[in-house]
Chains A and B, each alone.
Chain A
């Protein structure tokens, strides 16, 4: 047969029109940058929201413009809810996985695009619509929802009777998250198919960069987790709009003037189980790509092979698997059986094992290396620091007896912000500084980058370490004005300190914004492999052309062949043929 009908090359040449090339593009690199820009917009909004509620916590009598006087409790809760939702979904899920994964997964495995480019484009646009729907919640009559990013019923399931923002605002929240789930499922499907089927000859699983392992395992988690949240979201929507009783129990009275609600028999716990069955893997969806990026960068700038490559790959898989078995540790205070709690606690503590394997292997990679303290390297080392700090407080919270008193305090806020949020953000920053030369053909300014790192690194600890002490002292989270309690009032100076630290750290991000946008046009031009790295993305021009590779790549060795004895250079790229290596070695001797 003529293979003609099916051998159409969809990347024969780049589309000419602006719309097809930069807006409705199917090129994975354009889509990756679109995701990154979306995450940048989202993180900016999320950060400003956090400034607003931090200002209120530090100075409760401060009148902030736009709030119609003093900030009311429901306005505070709306800010917290939207901050959490935007950050978790549209920053921590979008940037490391959809952003970097889209741009670099195909190049790193030697493919010229994702397996399903049109589906890929669709995923992005659904995600963007989801984001717009979420932000629209601010502009509804009752304002944004107020029940936190976990959207627990009954508050979330009964409509505006439970508070302003719980009407149309919460409905938009649910619709937005459902759309986000759909887009994430399509992305996950695409990532998995691409990794399994599109690898270049020679690119065996055990030759894949650890970044690819991170994106691959994350995609598997996404594929299995987002469908569950989608199902839960649909049930919640029906409770809200169709008066079903999946999550709403009987006899609820929300204020004295209202009759009891018509719902009966539903279980708020059911939502908690469904939500956290998604929610815990979601934590790893945020962090696993950052682990891959960190491994990649540490090896590159230690000029050493990654320590224990296979252990790193297997521990990613182990963490991914275990993430589906521990959701109950978010629910120790829900009144669950102590036996269940014990099982969830035990499984949670087991995650410490693969996590420790990763940490020690990162340290082993650094040990004895010719370390180059570039900006991406600093962020990667910062990631390890934050991961250890946040992970250790996780070992406390994994035990029900300790979690019960700490659960509703700032200790939990401190824990998950350090280990999930800030650590993942450091992975994102590391990736941005590292791959910027590949994406734009120019380098970001190193002095600004290092200043940005130190201000952010120290700032993050100044913000979140004191929250641990506050939590242990009993400071309650979710309260807009906890000052009425004497023992909490004594912590006011700490609150002010944290808020000031948050403002300074936030302001330090201006260095990053400036560096990023300025460097796109004015950064120092670099050749295709400025970091002297080994993986396939560094074998193509910067930025890579449409279709990525000029000649079809072939892979001959593992991804982290640094400082190979007997070879002239201290890096041995994956795509060099044995003949080229031999010639180079002969020339060197």
Chain B
């Protein structure tokens, strides 16, 4: 783990940009480094802006798939609903729980409780892995029931949507692990920023899953 104190870092969460930080709003200019700020430093909120843009792009990607789902279902007469594996309810509960644990972790970090942070952070990671494993179990159950990728458009969309969401969630898990073991001494991004970004992304994938699950459950 990083050697410098979490307490110190958490106390001043967005210090990297020096004088420029917060000096300029969106429309006033000077969003970046101030005249006296260190050369080359990127304001911490830039990372959050980048993540927001990334989530917008991911959302468009999923909305394209969802609109294809709706159109494909509406245009044809070959759509056959199939029962979703019950384990999806468990997976959903696990993912929901992980949103709470990652928030607990961030609260611990804000209070300087390093052990508490690590505890809840790893709990979140474990819940994420459990969710992915659960999704794979759901796939196995469908395969055993004879429902394959190409069986029917409904099953095609089920596999595509769960796989696309799963891949993004695996990305989130990689980020959680990376944040836990990163050497923050020479990082350009502050640990507090990184944990905040990971949490926002995690909640985003959580919300996205709820939406997709409802779509798959009710939309068939």
Q: Which residues of A contact B (CB under 8 A)?
A: 1, 3, 5-12, 109-113, 115-116, 185, 188-190, 192-193, 196-207, 223-228, 230-232, 234-235, 238, 242-246, 250, 264-267, 269-270, 273-274, 277, 547, 552, 554-555
Contact = CB atoms under 8 A, between A and B. Distances in A.
Contacts of B44: 6
A494 B186 CA distance: 66
Given A273-B71, A547-B39, 13 more contacts: A5-B4, A6-B16, A7-B16, A197-B42, A198-B43, A201-B20, A202-B30, A206-B27, A238-B156, A265-B79, A270-B68, A552-B37, A555-B29
Nearest to A228: B64
A141 to B, nearest CB: 25
15 contacts: A3-B16, A185-B54, A197-B49, A200-B29, A201-B29, A205-B29, A226-B57, A231-B64, A238-B160, A246-B68, A246-B72, A270-B71, A270-B75, A274-B68, A552-B36
B12 A246 contact: no
Contacts of A223: 53, 56-57, 60
Contact of B34 (A197, A201, A547): A201
B134 to A, nearest CB: 23
Given A231-B68, A274-B64, A8 B186 contact: yes
Contacts of B18: 3, 7
A232 B35 CA distance: 46
Contacts of A1: 8-9, 11-12, 15
A5 B185 contact: yes
Contacts of B79: 265
Given A207-B29, A245-B150, A267-B71, A6 B40 contact: no
Nearest to A195: B31
A321 B64 CA distance: 18
B23 interface: yes
Which residue, B57, B60, B65, B72, has most C-beta atoms of chain A within 10 A? B57
B60 A265 contact: no
B84 interface: no
Interface string B61-74: 11111011001100
B112 interface: no
Contacts of A7: 16, 18, 38, 41
Contacts of B186: 5, 8
A300 to B, nearest CB: 22
B190 interface: yes
B42 A244 contact: no
Contacts of B38: 3, 7, 9
Contacts of A232: 64, 68
Contacts of A111: 32
A231 B149 contact: no
A6 B41 contact: yes
Residue of B20, B64, B77 with highest tally of chain A CB at under 10 A: B64
B189 interface: yes
A192 B31 CA distance: 13
Nearest to A112: B40
Contacts of A231: 61-62, 64-65, 68
A547 B40 CA distance: 7
B172 interface: no
Instruction: Identify the interface centre among A231, A245, A250: most chain B CB within 10 Å of its CB.
Output: A231
A204 B184 CA distance: 33
Nearest to A553: B35
Nearest to B58: A227
Contacts, number: 200
B188 A6 contact: yes
Contact of A197 (B31, B62, B184): B31
Contacts of A198: 31-33, 42-43, 46
B153 interface: yes
A273 B30 CA distance: 41
A196 to B, nearest CB: 6
A238 B149 contact: yes
B24 interface: yes
A204 B29 contact: yes
B72 A6 contact: no
A201 B30 CA distance: 3
A217 B195 CA distance: 30
B85 interface: no
A110 B67 CA distance: 41
Nearest to A206: B27
Contacts of B78: 245, 250, 264-265
A164 B24 CA distance: 58
Contacts of A189: 50, 53-54, 57
Contacts of A5: 4, 9, 184-187, 190
B181 interface: no
A359 B84 CA distance: 56
A226 B60 CA distance: 9
Contact of B29 (A190, A199, A267): A199
Contacts of A6: 15-16, 41, 44, 187-190
What 9 pairs between A and B have smallest CB-CB spacing? A6-B16, A201-B30, A265-B78, A227-B61, A9-B40, A231-B64, A204-B29, A227-B60, A197-B46
B50 A116 contact: yes
B57 A185 contact: yes
A554 B23 CA distance: 13
Nearest to A115: B46
A230 B160 CA distance: 13
A8 B38 CA distance: 8
Interface string B176-196: 000000001111111000000
A7 B26 CA distance: 22
A246 B29 contact: no
Interface string B129-152: 000000000000000000001100
